[in-house]
Amino acid sequence: MGELTTTVAHPLDEVDAAVRAALAVEGFGVLTEIDVEAVFRARLGVERSPLRILGACNPHFAHDAMERDANAALAIPCNVVLEALDEATTRVSIADPATMMPGADLADLTADARARLSRVIAAL
């Protein structure tokens, strides 16, 4: 799987806020949030480093993609993973829309979405 990724010298909570702000600038909102650390602790009794999965979506892209191909819904929302590498460092990875929805029918949408998400990474 392809991804857009960066490592930021800030704690996870600060990076979370910055990611959400950068996504908003690019027309994306966060539809879902999974606190993997909390889920593993509660359901498995396992401790792990902090990791959050944000489900980001640009409603215009999502609507257009699903109008062209209903199976595009399989790749929506776009996962944005925030992983604390230590208390002051966070890795941000975003699923590359071009690899999640390959094909000529969606190429213009995935290229635009990839460009916008690349700007989110660059803004961090």
33 beta partners: 54
Strands of the sheet with 51-57, listed across from one edge? 3-8, 89-95, 78-86, 51-57, 29-35
Q: What structural domains does the chain harbor?
A: 3-123 (3.30.310.70)
Per-residue pLDDT of the chain (124 residues; tens, 9 = 90+): 689 999 999 999 999 999 999 999 999 999 999 999 999 999 999 999 999 999 999 999 999 999 999 999 999 999 999 999 999 999 999 999 989 888 888 999 999 999 999 999 999 9
pTM for the whole structure:
0.94
Res 1: pLDDT: 66
Res 115: pLDDT: 97
